[in-house]
Amino acid sequence: MEKDRLWTSPPKKEQAPRVRRKAINRQQLLLRPVEVEKLVEQGHPVRAIWELAGQLDLEPFYAGIEAIEGVAGRPVWDPHLLISLWIYAYKEGVNSAREIARLCQYHPAYQWLTGLEVVNYHTLADFRIQHREALDQLFIEVLGVLSHEGLITLERVMHDGTKVKACASSKSFHRKATLEDHLRLAREQVEQMGDPESEELSQRVAKAQQRALREKQERLEEALKELEQIKAARSQPSKKEKARASSTDPEARVMLQANGAYGPAYNLQISTDAQSKIIVGVGVTQVSADAAELEPAVERIEANLGQKPEQMVVDAGFTNQATMEAMTEKQVDMIGSLPERSGVTPHRLEQLGVSPDFYPQAFEYDKSMDCYRCPAGKGLGYETQERKGATLRHRYRAKASDCRACEFQAKCCPGTKRGRSLVRSEATPEMVAFQAKMETPEAQAIYKQRAGVAEFPNAWIKDKIGLRQFRLRGLAKVTLESLWACLTYNICQWIRLCWKPQQLASA
């Protein structure tokens, strides 16, 4: 009977031995000795930052400190420490005072700097924005060190502008009427604010809410003032009506950014010495176009290093008549690509509904009379001239009455009431000379180096330091934020190219 069974149970497996694992004991209490000096190794960059900051003249940061030895009162944090904390934090891509305060609690490098103390984030935040002149001086001091090391020659400086997002969203931009409505509401809320001590909420929360409301009201008042400036800067009356300002960062402007999108931003201008890619000048502007930024850049370099650069290399955004004249006057050689000289593009003509038979080549220029003749045989007389970049643009226009009566008007100038116009572009003598210089192999070889040098610090500041968007608001504060980032970049180059840890140096 037994042998007829179809199913038999599998033989019993021998039980596998259990893996011996380390137990995790989270209930234990430990007292560990911490040797602060050994929290970071000898070659750690935080030591380099502390060492370099200690060699610089930090006196401007000490001015105004009221805590004096021998007099009652609490001691203050040493500016040497606060500078080192900010520089190390920026180097690591941290640009928030709260985050630094948090890192001070457990990160070995921050603990080494503070000697295991925790610096309050208010102290850190205030320090970052309270010392504009001292920070300028510190930037110059570091340039002096880099120059002494032979890393700066000023023989060739590459200059470029890059847009950095403002701490505001596109939705915060409003026209005058909306801003006035928001301001009225904010004022009403501020008036209705009660006494924080009688609030149901904790006094701390109530005071914070009151402060936030007051700041909102101030920003809206600032936005209305900025709106007037934006309107004043616009030439066309129709555009003035459409002007908008941000209620979050009134000093930010809408700019075309690297990703091809428009958004609130500032234009960060960086000058980089070609010798070792050291930043020798930094500025921030609210103007999106780079056209007028080269002359101030040269002045900044001269103020920082006491001498002008011999040569400035720029892209087409900077190449224009006024800049060429300014560089000639300052005796600075300018190398750059040439801007487009075309008038209205075929694409634009197509958008305007102009038939290809009436594109500019269909009009005949009469040099002796300095006028054009259209396909219908009518004259387009000289109207005006204007400078655009490094070119002179001469405008010619047909009589409005001729075009109104013309059978070709729908194809030639649809919707135009003033008569068809044409633009003739002409290079200025300075432009012709510049063009000739830029056609030489030497100038072209120099220009080819531009992107590699000028875009290196831009990429470093955005990718490593994390300055893709400002944390602070307003032109003055974003300029300070830019200065901290560029100072950090230069110190990183000093560490990379010059610093030797003491242990290695003494070996």
Mapping DSSP to helix (H, G, I), strand (E, B) and coil, where does residue 436 land? helix
HEC profile for 17-33?
CCCCCCCCCCCCCCCCC
User: CB count, 10 Å around CB of 355?
Assistant: 14
How many chain residues interact with ligand SF4 (CB under 6 A)?
13
The candidate with the shortest Cα–Cα distance to 467, out of 49, 95, 45, 86, is 95
**Unique residue bearing structure tokens 């520089």:** 87
Does 408 participate in binding ligand SF4 (rule CB under 6 A)?
A: yes
Chain positions 420 to 459 lying near ligand SF4, rule: CB under 6 A, are: 420
Q: Which of 118, 224, 371, 376 binds ligand SF4 (CB under 6 A)?
A: 376
Does 398 participate in binding ligand SF4 (rule CB under 6 A)?
A: yes
Q: Which of 119, 406, 453, 485 binds ligand SF4 (CB under 6 A)?
A: 406
Cβ proximity to ligand SF4, 409 vs 490, nearer residue: 409
CA gap 26, 33 in Å, rounded: 19
Q: Which of 158, 314, 374, 478 binds ligand SF4 (CB under 6 A)?
A: 374
Q: Contact region for ligand SF4 (CB under 6 A) — 73-81, 252-260, 368-376, 425-433?
A: 368-376
Cβ proximity to ligand SF4, 288 vs 355, nearer residue: 355
Cβ proximity to ligand SF4, 108 vs 375, nearer residue: 375
Tell me the closest approach of the beta carbon of residue 349 to ligand SF4, in angstroms: 13
Cβ proximity to ligand SF4, 374 vs 446, nearer residue: 374
Which residues are within 8 A (CB) of 316 and not within 5 positions of it... i.e. 6 or more apart? 336, 337, 338, 339, 340
CA gap 220, 183 in Å, rounded: 6
Q: Contact region for ligand SF4 (CB under 6 A) — 97-105, 130-138, 401-409, 477-485?
A: 401-409
CA gap 188, 213 in Å, rounded: 10
What tokens appear for 198 in the block? 């009688």
Does 412 participate in binding ligand SF4 (rule CB under 6 A)?
A: yes
Tell me the closest approach of the beta carbon of residue 421 to ligand SF4, in angstroms: 9
Cβ proximity to ligand SF4, 182 vs 420, nearer residue: 420
Tell me whether strands 157-165 and 311-314 are parallel, antiparallel or unpaired. Answer: parallel
The candidate with the shortest Cα–Cα distance to 131, out of 143, 120, 142, 123, is 123
Does 403 participate in binding ligand SF4 (rule CB under 6 A)?
A: yes
CA gap 139, 53 in Å, rounded: 11
CA gap 456, 327 in Å, rounded: 24
Q: Please give the full DSSP string across 181-217, using - where no structure is assigned.
A: HHHHHHHHHHHH---GGG-SS-HHHHHHHHHHHHHHH
Which residues are within 8 A (CB) of 186 and not within 5 positions of it... i.e. 6 or more apart? 213, 216, 217, 220
CA gap 475, 28 in Å, rounded: 52
Tell me the closest approach of the beta carbon of residue 380 to ligand SF4, in angstroms: 7
Q: Contact region for ligand SF4 (CB under 6 A) — 293-301, 311-319, 403-411, 455-463?
A: 403-411
CA gap 320, 333 in Å, rounded: 14
Q: Contact region for ligand SF4 (CB under 6 A) — 80-88, 199-207, 327-335, 374-382?
A: 374-382
| First-residue to last-residue Cα distance in the chain | 90
Q: Contact region for ligand SF4 (CB under 6 A) — 58-66, 289-297, 400-408, 486-494?
A: 400-408
Does 48 participate in binding ligand SF4 (rule CB under 6 A)?
A: no
Q: Please give the full DSSP string across 72-93, using - where no structure is assigned.
A: SS-----HHHHHHHHHHHHHTT
Q: Contact region for ligand SF4 (CB under 6 A) — 52-60, 341-349, 372-380, 445-453?
A: 372-380
Cβ proximity to ligand SF4, 396 vs 489, nearer residue: 396
Does 140 participate in binding ligand SF4 (rule CB under 6 A)?
A: no
Does 354 participate in binding ligand SF4 (rule CB under 6 A)?
A: no
**Unique residue bearing structure tokens 């006094």:** 203
Tell me the closest approach of the beta carbon of residue 362 to ligand SF4, in angstroms: 9
User: CB count, 10 Å around CB of 435?
Assistant: 13
Cβ proximity to ligand SF4, 300 vs 378, nearer residue: 378
Tell me the closest approach of the beta carbon of residue 404 to ligand SF4, in angstroms: 8
- Which of the 8 DSSP states describes residue 360? G
CA gap 88, 86 in Å, rounded: 6
Does 344 participate in binding ligand SF4 (rule CB under 6 A)?
A: no
Cβ proximity to ligand SF4, 221 vs 402, nearer residue: 402
Q: Which of 149, 199, 299, 402 binds ligand SF4 (CB under 6 A)?
A: 402
Q: Which of 214, 231, 378, 471 binds ligand SF4 (CB under 6 A)?
A: 378
Does 44 participate in binding ligand SF4 (rule CB under 6 A)?
A: no
Cβ proximity to ligand SF4, 391 vs 409, nearer residue: 409
Q: Under the rule (CB under 6 A), what is the footprint of ligand SF4?
A: 374-376, 378, 398, 402-403, 406, 408-409, 412-413, 420
